[in-house]
Amino acid sequence: MPKRKIKSLKFKGKIRGGSGIEFLSVEIPANRRLPFALVRYALDSQPQHLGLRLDMDKGVFIDRFENEAKDKVFQEAASEICDFLADILKT
């Protein structure tokens, strides 16, 4: 079975956070056939082991937080992340 290739892109402060959330990077399939990405983030300056899944076609996170303030930060950042990816991937 062939190994899947993943492309990782750093945000470097390009995506706004809030409520103790900092966006670190995004991982996408190198072949770009799937409309999903994995967003890596830090919570209260601690990088989280698991990333959150982003549906790039719909511009929304599949995973949600129970904490409304944190969930709102992620949902508002979803379109920024999709725009960031669109700019990177069109080149």
Q: Which residues pair with 39 in a beta bridge?
A: 26, 52
The pTM of this model reads 0.86
Instruction: Kindly tell me if the per-residue pLDDT of 84 is higher than 60.
Output: yes
Tens digit of each residue's pLDDT (9 = 90 or more) over 25-76: 999 988 767 789 999 999 999 999 999 999 999 999 999 999 999 999 999 9
Number of C-beta neighbours around residue 36 at 10 A: 13
